[in-house]
Structure 1
Amino acid sequence: MTTESPVWFTSSYSNNGGECVEVALNLVASRGVVPVRDSKVPAGPVLTIPASSFACFVTGVKAGGFRV
């Protein structure tokens, strides 16, 4: 088992409006997950999403599937 800690970052596409999420992609290779958290509450809860599901989500966003 690894003791690797998440290395958090916010997307460069973020407009810095305070409504951002942070992700930690450094755990994909070792654990197969992408942790996600609210950038405003770094000590708050973390969603741990399977890497394959996160990849599908990103593909959907890029395809414009989540327009409001």
Structure 2
Amino acid sequence: MPIESWCRITEQLGIAQQTITHYESGVSRITEETFAPAAQILDTSVEDLIGVSTKRRNGRRGPQPKIAQ
């Protein structure tokens, strides 16, 4: 993502650019209060930001059977 985009995002979230760097490198963890605004700015869902799929596999919960993988 271009630096201009990160500057815009940090301004809209009211956080420092260094904070984004800390999130990316794992030095800091993003707060729950920041997820929703960040998702809105990035035009995505909170689930997509944290890497959680909202789709169920085969309509069931839990891991898929080995044969389906």
Question: When the two structures are superposed, what TM-score results if normalisation uses the length of structure 2?
Answer: 0.24
From the CA coordinates, give the structure whose radius of gyration is larger.
2
Q: Hey, which of these two has a bigger chunk of helix by percent?
A: 2
Larger RCO (CA under 8 A, 6+ residues apart): 1
